[in-house]
Amino acid sequence: VHVIGKKVTEVLGDPTDPESKGELTVRDRHMKEILYAPDRLTYPMKRVGEKGEGKWKRISWDEALTTIAKRFLEIKKKDGAEAIHFLHGHYHSGDILGSYIPRLANLIGTPNVSNPSHVCHLPRVFMQFSFDLGAVVPPDVRYTNCLILWGGNPGATNKPQEIAIKEARKRGIKLIVIDPRVTSYAREADLHAQLRPGTDGALALGMLNVIVKEKLYDKEFVNKWTVGFDKLERHIENYSPEKVEKVTWVPAQRIREIARTYATTKPACISPRNALDQHTNASCAIRAIDILMAVTGNLDVKGGNLIVIPISMALEDQKLYEKLPPEAEGKKIGADKCLYSKLSKTWPSAHTPSVWDAILHKSPYPINAMFVMAANPVLTCANTNVVEKALRKLDFLVVTDIFMTPTAELADIVLPSCTFLETTRFVTYDTHADHGWNATSRIALSPKVVEPLWESRSDWKIICELGRKMGYGEYFPWKTEEEAIDNTLRPLGITCEELAGHPEGMIISTPPFLYKKFGGFFGNILRGALKVAKFRNYPDMYKKYEANGFMTPSKKVEIYSEQLEKLGYDPLPVYREPAESPVSRPDLVKRYPLILIAGSKLEMYTHSMMRNIPALYRQCPENLLEINPETAKKLRVENGGRVRVESPRGSITCPAFITDRIDPRMVHLYYGFKENNCNVLTDHKAFDPITGSTGLKSLLCRVTKI
């Protein structure tokens, strides 16, 4: 970032970065316009009219924070701490924010902190880490000979993977794409499975049927490092390619071809992407894909799916869960409905879809206040009409963001947040199930390059100052982000100053948990010895499980999960229809005959952000309904003509985009638009009982010409 006279003049790619290699996304290229956008929030405001009326009064930061603190304390006294809910989304402040919102919530005494994790990344991590493998296993694209890209389009959403795949294809790797849409990757793939949305679990089990029956699995690994393979052999009898073809619409021969290619091309890896998190049967698909990685011997081998221990395991825990009263933990919204919300303490985990019902129906108890940070649930959460109704019903709503959003328009207090260029943060690159293209266990500093504009403040500073206002000053002693980051990184022995000297980031070369487990002078000696003797060159060493086994109760890959069985869930992945499909809801099919895929992201936007930036907005100013030419002809719909899209929840209108990249039985909408918001159509009530995932990409709808 080039700065002249305290003003950003240019934003360029950093060629030393091992993942992006100097390439910028479309959004990056317009970062200066985002920073200096004329419609940024510039000072705190309080509502003086009706909710959504748009009447505001400018107030000071002191008045804003004093008002919030007073109202929160009043609600805590009157209704209990659990009546206060914190909701956050895409961090403006980097990894630091994920610790400090729970910190304040735990000090207040509320277990209710939530985010979009139930439909973004955490279902995959939760299943891998908690039940199947005891670790996160991103794909090693650098060295693979075969990649399955499952449910994602990194050309629009992930620049590092786009670069890595491009380089791998130049080497001649085989590319298999599993996606209901014919994306650019599907067009160039060696094999493409254009499956019915929400049937990924059935397809994965069909592939396992082929691999097991044809004895294409890694016998040595299966015998030594897995539990329950014998039960899997019997279980997959029900998932022959012919049966799976009827479920998925993928021809049996194509299923066999994909299974054989993946099992016999060594090494091979799978990149399980975000779409897998967005079905009501997500846990089945994720577990079956994890088992595919294991039985083919592609776990933690060069070019396979690598075992990565997240850096977060080594960081100083800032969440203060010990301050949350034990009785409060059991009150977490969604803990009675969703296993992820019940078990997870690693990430904020109240179940967001269940929060709206708690507000509207006061069940299991009332939620009367909400603090929303870096999130826009009116546009980004399922069932917009219910979300908006719930937010309007709240006694007190605070929203902090960079711009005025539809969610902020309903708030009582709006606070101006700053961009990442105006604050110091740190980021890690190893905790994602679909990351790890060029470097693992990397930590980097994103330093402040200009002072916060106008009266905006960093998300971290807002949380800390609110905590002090509420009387928790001793737990927020840091004066700057740098001090707080130094405290968080203390077990690693790394400081902001040291990170600043490594703009490309620093590799953690010993398993992160050992930093926390063995601290001090002797810990450094022990870690050095372990690196040489046992862990050699972590994370680049392979088959790390040979040292101590997998981090599961059995120390093996748990194909058959006794943990899940004891908790009352299927110990083996069992395919069940999406909650709203032509098979599960024949009563709806006559009225809503088409399958709706909702929520794909566009390259020029981040979630619901950046549509106020003219250069980005011009690239796609309105949502589009992708519809097959055959379907369009039946409905007499013309390209660019307006259509009405309806579901049992509501309807929107938008232009039609006639394309052969969608099956005639499906239609597709993009995500994050205010005027024709796809989430008006989506459902929040049905979700996966283990991961809490809602069915954003497997719903029913009808389309009519306007």
Residue 509 has pLDDT above 90, yes or no: no
At residue 315 the predicted structure's pLDDT band, cuts being 50, 70 and 90, is confident
Cα angle value 248/250/256 (rounded, 5°): 115
Mean pLDDT of 422-445: 71
Spatial CA neighbour of 284 closest among 578, 563, 556, 550 = 578
Q: How many CA atoms lie within 13 A of 281 on its CB side?
A: 24
Among 107-111, 256-260, 345-349, 356-360, name the one with the lowest average pLDDT.
345-349
Residue 535 has pLDDT above 90, yes or no: no
Strands 642-647 and 650-658: antiparallel
At residue 96 the predicted structure's pLDDT band, cuts being 50, 70 and 90, is low
**For the chain, how big is the Rg over CA atoms in Å?**
25
Q: Is 452:126 a contact under the CB 8 Å cutoff?
A: no
At residue 559 the predicted structure's pLDDT band, cuts being 50, 70 and 90, is very high
**Residue 602 to residues 88, 137, 326, 404, 610: CA-CA distances in angstroms?**
21, 26, 43, 21, 11
351-410 pLDDT, tens digit per residue, is: 999 999 999 999 999 999 999 999 999 999 999 999 999 999 999 999 999 999 999 999
What local confidence, expressed as pLDDT, does residue 91 receive?
58
What local confidence, expressed as pLDDT, does residue 444 receive?
87
650-702 pLDDT, tens digit per residue, is: 999 999 999 999 999 999 999 999 999 999 999 999 999 999 999 999 999 99
d(CA 484, CA 478): 6
What local confidence, expressed as pLDDT, does residue 698 receive?
96
Mean pLDDT of 636-648: 97
Burial of 77 (0-12, 13-18, 19+ CB in 10 A): exposed
d(CA 211, CA 217): 6
What local confidence, expressed as pLDDT, does residue 199 receive?
98
Residue 431 has pLDDT above 70, yes or no: no
At how many degrees (to 10) do helices 241-248 and 200-213 cross?
170
How many other CB atoms are found less than 10 A from the CB of residue 591?
12
Residue 321 has pLDDT above 80, yes or no: yes
d(CA 10, CA 32): 7
Please give the share of the chain, as a percent, with pLDDT higher than 70: 97
d(CA 535, CA 305): 18
Mean pLDDT of 174-178: 98
Please give the share of the chain, as a percent, with pLDDT higher than 90: 80
d(CA 118, CA 692): 6
What local confidence, expressed as pLDDT, does residue 95 receive?
55
For the record, the structure tokens of 403 come out as: 């711009």
Residue 543 has pLDDT above 60, yes or no: yes
Mean pLDDT of 327-347: 87
Task: Note the helical H segments in 268-331.
Answer: 282-295, 326-329
202-236 pLDDT, tens digit per residue, is: 999 999 999 999 999 999 999 999 999 999 999 99
What local confidence, expressed as pLDDT, does residue 537 receive?
75
Q: Is 682:694 a contact under the CB 8 Å cutoff?
A: yes
Q: Which amino acid is at 399?
A: V
At how many degrees (to 10) do helices 384-393 and 352-361 cross?
50
What local confidence, expressed as pLDDT, does residue 346 receive?
63
What local confidence, expressed as pLDDT, does residue 440 receive?
65
3-state secondary structure of 347: coil
What local confidence, expressed as pLDDT, does residue 513 receive?
80
Strands 442-446 and 425-428: antiparallel
Phi, psi of 173 (to 5 degrees): -70, 155
For the record, the structure tokens of 130 come out as: 């908690």
3-state secondary structure of 645: strand
569-626 pLDDT, tens digit per residue, is: 999 999 999 999 999 999 999 999 999 999 899 999 999 999 999 999 999 999 999 9
Question: Alpha carbon 127 to chain centroid distance?
Answer: 14
Residue 519 has pLDDT above 90, yes or no: no
Count the helix, strand and coil residues of the chain and give each as a percent rounded to the nearest 5. Answer: 40, 15, 45
Q: Which amino acid is at 93?
A: S
Spatial CA neighbour of 99 closest among 315, 344, 281, 291 = 315
Query: What pTM does this model have?
Result: 0.95
At residue 329 the predicted structure's pLDDT band, cuts being 50, 70 and 90, is confident
What local confidence, expressed as pLDDT, does residue 430 receive?
61
At residue 439 the predicted structure's pLDDT band, cuts being 50, 70 and 90, is low
d(CA 289, CA 296): 11
Mean pLDDT, the chain, integer? 93
What local confidence, expressed as pLDDT, does residue 701 receive?
98
DSSP character for 433? T
Higher pLDDT, 430 or 465: 465
Mean pLDDT of 330-356: 88
What local confidence, expressed as pLDDT, does residue 435 receive?
56
Among 340-349, 435-444, 523-532, name the one with the lowest average pLDDT.
435-444
What local confidence, expressed as pLDDT, does residue 345 receive?
67
Residues with Cβ within 8 Å of residue 629, at least 6 apart in sequence: 658, 659, 660
Residue 503 has pLDDT above 90, yes or no: no
Residues with Cβ within 8 Å of residue 103, at least 6 apart in sequence: 318, 319, 320, 463, 467, 475
What local confidence, expressed as pLDDT, does residue 336 receive?
93
For the record, the structure tokens of 497 come out as: 């100053």
